[in-house]
Amino acid sequence: MRSCFRSRPGWSIAAACLVATCLVASGTVADAANKPEVIAVVAADGYADLREQLTWVGEQVGNPTLAGFAESFILLATQGKGLAGLDVKRPIGVVITSSGGPLPTAHAFLPVKDLDKLLGAVQGMIGPVEEVDGVRRIAAPGAPPLEIVEKNGWAIFSQPGDPVGIDDPLTVIEPLTKEYSLAVELFPSRMPAEMRDRLKALLDEAARNAAAQGQAMDPAQFQAGLEQLEDVETIVFGFAVDKLGDKIMLDVTSVLTPVAVKAA
């Protein structure tokens, strides 16, 4: 087994984008009247593929039971039911969109064959499920309430009142899973100016809080990256298990907008 790391220009920008997205991923859209635009995508291979890849990794490191060990935690959490009802052959994704306001909206897309069976299997973790007019709602302990809508074989998880603006999630999930086992794709140039301003304020606040606790933090590099976000079209953080190539790959790529490339 060989490990491989590939990187292209944009490390400081990439770091800023990743931190920024994590800081605001739990927010809501300010103006739902505008058409949502995708600003970030998290995608993973289907459960069956991930299990197969983990089995291969375990064999390479001398631990052939690695996948089974990981799966035992799922069986324990679901009281032996596993992930019954999940479509294990299709990818999983989270799509973050913006309608122009300072905060984004996140929707998680889980492929299902039988949603009721899946929710029943994980009920011990998520609590009881309420259903009103075809919309299910859960409120896991210590977590905000979520609505679940089933559409075209997908269970769509979102915060109450956040409409889904994507007809087919595979259009944004599948391009990533064709190349990677797990990937995060960011679209910085699509972020509204208000959102970038809010992210800068959050970074400043984080720096002040860290300093107050005796942990000096200099957000200058992140701020510099944020200033250049409007010139970056995409940033991808990808992790891939390539069994045929006998390697594990970590990929970080960034692509400038055509306007920025022309001006360079």
Q: What is the pLDDT of residues 58-69, one digit of tens each?
A: 999 999 999 999
Q: Which tokens in the block code for residue 59?
A: 């064999």
Bridge partners (DSSP) listed for residue 238:
183, 251
In this predicted model, which residue has the larger pLDDT, 260 or 72?
72
pLDDT in tens, 13-52: 444 444 444 444 444 333 434 577 899 999 999 999 999 9
pLDDT at 1: 56
Arithmetic mean of pLDDT over the chain: 82
- Does 163 have pLDDT greater than 70? yes
Q: What is the pLDDT of residues 227-250, one digit of tens each?
A: 777 888 888 999 999 988 889 999
- 88: number of Cβ within 10 Å: 14
Report the distance separating Cα 130 and Cα 144, nearest Å.
15
Band of residue 199 on the pLDDT scale cut at 50, 70, 90: low
pLDDT at 2 over 70: no
pLDDT band at 222 (very low <50, low <70, confident <90, very high): low
Q: What is the pLDDT of residue 67?
A: 93
Query: Could you report how far apart the first and last alpha carbons of the chain are, in Å?
Result: 40
Instruction: Give the span between the Cα atoms of 136 and 152, in whole angstroms.
Output: 16
Q: What is the DSSP letter of 1?
A: -
If you average pLDDT over residues 70-89, what whole number do you get? 93
Pairing of strands 130-132, 182-186: unpaired
pTM, entire model: 0.78
- Cα–Cα distances (Å) from 70 to 52, 54, 66, 231, in that order, read 12, 9, 6, 41
* Pair of tokens at residue 190: 């699509």
Cα separation, 4 vs 247, in Å, equals: 7
Cα 125 off chain centre by: 21
Residue 208 binned pLDDT confidence (cut-offs 50, 70, 90): confident
